[in-house]
Amino acid sequence: MIDCPNCHHQEMVGSLFCSECGAKLVTADLPTTQNISAMGATGQSISARGVDTLSFQIRAKPASHHVTEPRAAPHDVALSLRLMESGKGIELTGQTEFTIGRVAEGQLILPDVDLSEFQAYGQGVSRLHATLKVNNQRVFITDLGSSNGTRINGQKIMPNIDFPLNHGDMIALGKFKMQILFHK
């Protein structure tokens, strides 16, 4: 069985799309490079043929398949976030798990990454919105049941379920957009 990375529905071997949520379970027969510019190029060639970028939103292979992405997450993976609106970068180091959100008055648990200075409230970021995890050389994001949801490359993810990330993926917390970058 294949485990859908989006909704964890069990699909038969050989399925190309999840019958439950419609997420794509396989990679296209095109080079799936991990860097951003190459991704843009492939995206273009696809949309020229009348297909939108949906095909590239879930590029993670199902868990039962052996992962062979060469540059998925190098050994000493370090993460950084690039905030799309301000262009500012935030380095994430020293931990394997980071909560992202904003600090508000009277809040007991504070997020590791505070976005309140970037008009996070107005763009619909929850106080504890999502978690980034580095596990086994892979990077995952988990929506913590936020009010406005989390989207990866435009695709809404299920709350409280780990979703694998690739270098250059676009994360939207509510309307707040940022890009995840992996460094060696």
Tokens of 57: 């939103």
Contact (Cβ atoms closer than 8 angstroms) between residue 142 and residue 133: yes
How far, in Å, CA of 167 to CA of 183, rounded? Answer: 9
Contact (Cβ atoms closer than 8 angstroms) between residue 60 and residue 166: yes
Of how many residues is the chain composed? 184
Q: Which is nearer to other proteins, 45 or 137 (CB)?
A: 45
**First CA to last CA across the chain, in angstroms?**
34
Q: Which of residues 82-121 bind other proteins (CB under 8 A)?
A: none
Tokens of 110: 């504070």
Contact segment (CB under 8 A) with other proteins among 53-61, 135-143, 161-169, 171-179 equals 53-61
Contact segment (CB under 8 A) with other proteins among 13-21, 86-94, 96-104, 114-122 equals 13-21
Tokens of 133: 């995890």
Single out the residue of 40, 44, 52, 96 in contact with other proteins (rule: CB under 8 A): 52
Single out the residue of 9, 15, 33, 90 in contact with other proteins (rule: CB under 8 A): 15
Single out the residue of 156, 159, 160, 183 in contact with other proteins (rule: CB under 8 A): 156
Which residues contribute to the site for other proteins (CB under 8 A)?
Answer: 1, 12-22, 24, 26-30, 49-55, 57, 64-66, 154-156
